[in-house]
A = this chain, B = another copy of it.
Amino acid sequence: MTIETPILYESKGSPNARRVRFFIAEKDITIPMKAVDLGAKEQFSDAYKAINPRSQVPALTLADGSTITEVLAIWRYLEEAYPQTPLLGTSAKTKALVTLWERRAELDGFAPVMEGVRNGIAGLKGRALSGPHAYEQIPELVERSKQRVANFYADFNERLAAVPFVAGEEFSAADITTLVTVDFATNALKMPLPAEHTAFQQWYDKTSIRPGASA
């Protein structure tokens, strides 16, 4: 049997998988998806490890049987293979700006939320970092992560007071990571966007009602 299209392995409970579903919905393309049951620890099963030895979602399997992991790599594949509705920029400069601002959202926002969660939850003892290796939690990181998220909110409020979208004039992958980060911080760290950040809130209000946001 020939597999005609890529397949996305994902989970509704994974904010990283949401970043990819959001991207696919915004591009308005159809990619078959298979749910991985993280609650039942299906990501550690031999069947899933044969797809992704690191036991992480999302993962994209290609027609040749190989697997692409990591959100940014899956996005890059999809952007190249399905160029319609570009979300990673269109000129040398806007491609660089999307890379830059998506990275700011990830390193200053998304990653601190993840760090705060993984170093604080009892069920993740010995699993402070995702991936194949065991690392003990460092409780001090929880508080530092929360400071970082608060600074991310303030910095991005300043940014979004100056430009309509995170990377500038157009909606892009940088907006996807930013929206997923706000919802992740709200749900997992009980850190919703502070009301005083009005520019960020206005951006959130218009972005959270995009169809891709509920994909």
Task: Give me the interface of A with B, judged by CB distance under 8 Å.
Answer: 62, 64, 66, 68-70, 72-74, 76-77, 80-81, 91-93, 95-97, 99-100, 103-104, 108, 128-129, 131-133, 135-136, 138, 140-141, 144, 147-148, 151, 155
Count of identical protomers in the assembly: 2
A95 near B68 with CB under 8 A, answer no
A70 near B100 with CB under 8 A, answer yes
Nearest-neighbour CB distance to chain B for A90, whole angstroms, equals: 10
A100 near B80 with CB under 8 A, answer no
Nearest-neighbour CB distance to chain B for A58, whole angstroms, equals: 12
Q: How far is the CA of A62 from the CA of B100 in the complex (A)?
A: 15
User: What is the chain B residue whose CB lies nearest that of A60?
Assistant: B96
Question: Could you say which of B68, B97, B144, B148 contacts A138, with CB atoms under 8 Å apart?
Answer: B144
Q: Which residues of B contact A68 (CB under 8 A)?
A: 93, 96-97, 100
Whether A92 touches B96, Cβ cut-off 8 Å, given contacts A103-B70, A138-B144, A140-B140, is: no
